Each structure stands twice: as structure tokens, then as C-alpha cells.
Amino acid sequence: MYSKTVMEHFTNPRNVGEIENADGIGEVGNVKCGDIMRMYLKIEDNTIKDVKFKTFGCGSAIASSSMATELIKGKTIDEAMNLTNKAVADALDGLPPIKMHCSVLAEQAIKAALLDYSKKNNIHIEGLEDIN
């Protein structure tokens, strides 16, 4: 049912934890299953210098958070904004259809953290107004 990559990221998730004095924190919950994901971003020079997550949820949500953090680390804000849940699922070599919403949580958590960052710094990030 699960790809090797999903299992690998579930059993050995990357970037678990919190960032003290994070520049942006995003927390999202999934109404369908009740799972919660929190993302912490350290941002410097428009670049995601560090990212950590805490996920109270299923294996797919943990694997999705782990992969999503790997995909945005070192990238620009715009690149992080463009990360879709499909890209996360693809990088995991696929998720079962009923588990696709777990990857949506990862995309939303990153956007929520970027929104928090933009509000704290009073800057505008293209594409965030619609989730505001």
C-alpha cells in the first residue's frame, strides 16, 4: 500500500522538532481526520534557512511533512510557495488516494507559516492573499 519512500520517511523523518524564535509558524488541522501539523521556518535573505515540523497524525502525514521540509530547505520563499501537495506526494513515490489529504496538510502548513512570517514582517507574498 505504501511506497518504500513513504515508509522510509515515516520511520526516519527529517527535520522533526521546533525552531526557537522561528520567523514563521504555521499550524493546520485536518477536519476529516483530526490530525494536526505545525511548521517552523527560519527565513533569511528571502531564503528558507531552516525548517522543522511537529505532526500529530498518521504515517502519511509524518512522511509528507518530512518530505515537504526537505523540498523547501534552502529554497526561496517563492519556491516554497510553489510547492504543491502533488509534488510532495510524487517525491514520496505516491500516496494511496485516501491519503492524499495528508500531503495537502503539508502544503497548507508551509503556506500558513509563510503567512505568519509575512504578517510579522509586514511584507506581501504573492499567492498568499487567497488563504488570508
User: Is 61 a residue that touches ligand FES (CB under 6 A)?
Assistant: yes
Query: Would you call 58 a catalytic residue per the annotation?
Result: no
Of the ranges 4-12, 18-26, 69-77, 100-108, which one interacts with ligand FES (CB under 6 A)?
100-108
User: Is 68 a residue that touches ligand FES (CB under 6 A)?
Assistant: no
Tell me how far CA of residue 34 lies from CA of 4, 31, 111, 130, in angstroms: 26, 5, 19, 23
d(CA 93, CA 5): 6
Q: Among residues 16, 33, 81, 87, which is the contact residue for ligand FES, using CB under 6 A? A: 33
Catalytic pick among 7, 25, 33, 36: 33
Packed helices 59-72 and 100-120: angle between N→C axes, nearest 10 degrees: 50
